[in-house]
Amino acid sequence: MGLFDKLRGEFIDIIEFLDNTQDTIVYRFERYGNEIKNNAKLIVREGQMAVFINEGQVADIFSPGTYTLNTENLPILSTLKGWKYGFNSPFKAEVYFVNTKNFIDQKWGTKNAIILSDKRFGMVEIRAFGMYSFKITDAPVFIREIVGTNQSFTTQNIAEQLKSIIVTRFSDATGESNLPIESYASNLNELSDTIFGYMQGDFAAYGMEVTKFLIENISMPDEVKKEIFELSRLEKIDLDKLTKLKAAKAMEAAAENPSGTAGMGVGLGAGIAMAQQMTQNMMNSSGKQNEQDTPPPLPGEVLYYVAIDGQQSGPYNLVQLGDLVEKQMLNRESLVWKKGLSEWVPAGNQVDLQSLWTLMPPPLPQ
């Protein structure tokens, strides 16, 4: 190569950034003394923007394309430099390449547990994690607010700041939702959408945009989770069958007890006591017993109430009334009442009770 070719090569300048990483957001193009030669070629690829900065002040911005740098393509820089008739000597400027693509699969999560108030379980600690995506929408703002003078800026450099924003918005959203803690799993999409909207303003202040946000999981302490599962099962199962099952298992365990008959008696007693206790609990919670102790009266059977020693007693069917007659607790003058009567009447006046007085022989004459 001749001297002329060598000198000509000194004046050939290509400014470009070939990104071989997946996490570089901003890269400052390095030149010796930041000098750029006249008619240098600038190549901005798809998914990039080039920002020229002169003495700390943002000058010209280039979108994807190929440019020959001169006063026509650098109007703002030409004004700042005071070039009225063009330039022929190298000039100084910092060139930042900004990736405008989507940075996907960014992880977030709560470092410390978040304390929430739940109506059923009181103060509860929860944790959450998920993913989000973002991109740069205003390169000058991002450089000014975040990058500063760094030569290279990656997603790791801003990850903690973005995570803090997300966790703060997550805490606000879950606190204001007033959802029962067991309902979080079925409302992940709704919570994600709410937090996604909250974060747009926070990211826009840095020249960024959140393009996707997802909550993948919300976890809670094991003891709370266990209690939720137990309550859920109790709402689905038949308590009467559960009582019988518990009693059967208690008797089975007692039968297998090597201590013999005494152990079986203890186990049987425990099973019966357990069954009685659970039955009583069910009666207290429902307000009535599921199954009556005695069968209901036969259809069409007439029942009477009887006044015995000034107290209402009954109801009695005909067979039971016959027993009262035999015990001399009921006679013709005894007051009785049945459904349909407006008042208490003597038993002897009721036609359907006349058979009671013929079941027993009358007293012998004196």
Least confident of 60-64, 147-151, 225-229: 225-229
Q: Is residue 309 exposed (0-12), middle (13-18) or buried (19+ Cβ within 10 Å)?
A: exposed
Residue 341 one-letter amino acid: L
E strand or H helix at 273, and its extent?
helix 261-286
Q: Is the peptide bond before 299 cis (omega within 30 degrees of 0)?
A: no
Q: Which residues contact 170 (CB under 8 A, 6 or more apart)?
A: 110, 114, 128, 191, 195, 215
Instruction: Judge contact between 43 and 16, C-beta under 8 A.
Output: yes
Residue 86 to residue 229: CA distance in whole angstroms: 77
Angle, helix 239-255 to helix 261-286, in steps of 10 degrees: 170
Residue 314 one-letter amino acid: G
**Share in percent of the chain as helix, strand, coil (round to 5):** 40, 25, 35
Task: Check whether 208 has a pLDDT greater than 90.
Answer: yes
Residue 264 to residue 189: CA distance in whole angstroms: 55
Which pair of structure tokens corresponds to residue 93? 């400027």
Residue 246 to residue 240: CA distance in whole angstroms: 10
Residue 184, phi then psi, degrees to nearest 5: -60, -40
End-to-end CA distance of the chain: 162
Angle, helix 155-177 to helix 188-204, in steps of 10 degrees: 130
Q: Mean pLDDT for the chain?
A: 80
Interval 44-100: pLDDT, tens: 999 999 999 888 888 899 999 999 988 788 888 888 777 665 666 677 888 999 999
Band of residue 207 on the pLDDT scale cut at 50, 70, 90:
very high
Interval 154-175: pLDDT, tens: 999 999 999 999 999 998 888 8
Q: How far from 93 is each of 13, 36, 60, 65, 124, CA to CA, in Å?
A: 14, 7, 10, 19, 55
Residue 30 one-letter amino acid: E
Task: Check whether 354 has a pLDDT greater than 50.
Answer: yes
Q: What is the pLDDT of residue 140?
A: 93
Q: Is the pTM of this model over 0.75?
A: no
* Cα dihedral: 71, 99, 169, 165 (round 10): -80
Instruction: Judge contact between 75 and 88, C-beta under 8 A.
Output: no
Instruction: Judge contact between 140 and 207, C-beta under 8 A.
Output: yes
